[in-house]
Amino acid sequence: MNQDLSIVTLLLHATWVVKGVVALLVLMSVASWAAIFRKLWALRRVANANESFEREFWSGKSVTELYTAAQKNATAKHPVSGPIERIFGNGMRDLHKLRDRRITDPTILLDGARRAMRASFQRELDVLESNLSFLASVASVAPYVGLFGTVWGIMHAFVGLGSMQTVTLATVAPGIAEALVATAIGLFAAIPAVVAYNRFARDIDRAAIRMETFIEEFSNILQRNLSGQAAAVQGA
């Protein structure tokens, strides 16, 4: 009985619909695990890069030195810059473009830099959120796909039992068991996707808050510097 009710044996004797459902769920599980490992590595790299840049930013280096390093990292063959460094670089780039156009109004300069950093922030957030929708789809759809396979398998089992004179547990168990395998595999595919989605959503929220905080802090620094420069020019 144990050998007859093993998962492999049940799948071999299952209907082609159940086998197709199981194959689809296995593909979804493999794809979700691949997405999980890619996202895990990407978020870890982002966190390390952001922490490294913020450490340099608050270490006392000049903004010009940081901007030069950010430009070099952005044009490198294998870029190592993080989201916060790219946000900083885009803000400084827009600031220099406005200055090249002979614009000296501190308000205009600050607004331009802030808009550039905000646009860069949205792009970085879109990149961080990539593949999350796929994990959410696997988490929500996989149990229902498995349930469909189970319902189909049970229907097929009862149709076969209808032609029997005597029905016992030994005759019912194999058909029901092979149908339930689809639901089990559906849950196997959905549960890791749910856990990973919640974990990644929390990590992305933390990264977004960190980036927004940097934008506000750097904007305050720019405002002080630009206001001081404007006052010095007026005083001269």
Q: Is 1 within the bounds of a domain? A: no
Q: Is 207 within the bounds of a domain? A: yes
Q: Is 2 within the bounds of a domain? A: no
The residue behind tokens 């016992």 is 168
Token pair, residue 45, equals 């790299």
Token pair, residue 34, equals 């691949």
**Phi/psi zone of residue 190: left (φ > 0), alpha (ψ -120 to 50 degrees), beta?**
alpha
Percentage above 90 pLDDT, the chain? 51
Domain containing 222: what range? 7-235
Q: Is 223 within the bounds of a domain? A: yes
Per the model's pLDDT, the better-predicted residue between 5 and 229 turns out to be: 229
Give the residue from 83, 74, 71 showing the smallest Cα distance to 125. Answer: 83
The pTM (predicted TM-score) of the whole model is 0.81
- Collapsed DSSP state (helix, strand, coil) of residue 2: coil
Lowest mean pLDDT among 46-50, 79-83, 145-149, 200-204: 79-83
Q: 70 near 85, Cβ under 8 Å? A: yes
What confidence category does residue 160 fall into, taking pLDDT thresholds of 50, 70 and 90?
Answer: low
What confidence category does residue 26 fall into, taking pLDDT thresholds of 50, 70 and 90?
Answer: very high
Q: Is 124 within the bounds of a domain? A: yes
Task: Note the pLDDT tens digit of each residue in 54-100.
Answer: 999 998 888 889 999 888 887 776 667 899 999 999 999 999 999 88
pLDDT of res. 169: 57
The CA-atom distances, in angstroms, between 16 and each of 12, 109, 143, 235 are: 9, 66, 19, 85
Task: Note the pLDDT tens digit of each residue in 188-222.
Answer: 999 999 999 999 999 999 999 999 999 999 999 99
Q: Is 228 within the bounds of a domain? A: yes
Percentage above 70 pLDDT, the chain? 82
pLDDT of res. 27: 95
Q: Is 164 within the bounds of a domain? A: yes
What confidence category does residue 10 fall into, taking pLDDT thresholds of 50, 70 and 90?
Answer: low
The total of structural domains in the chain comes to 1
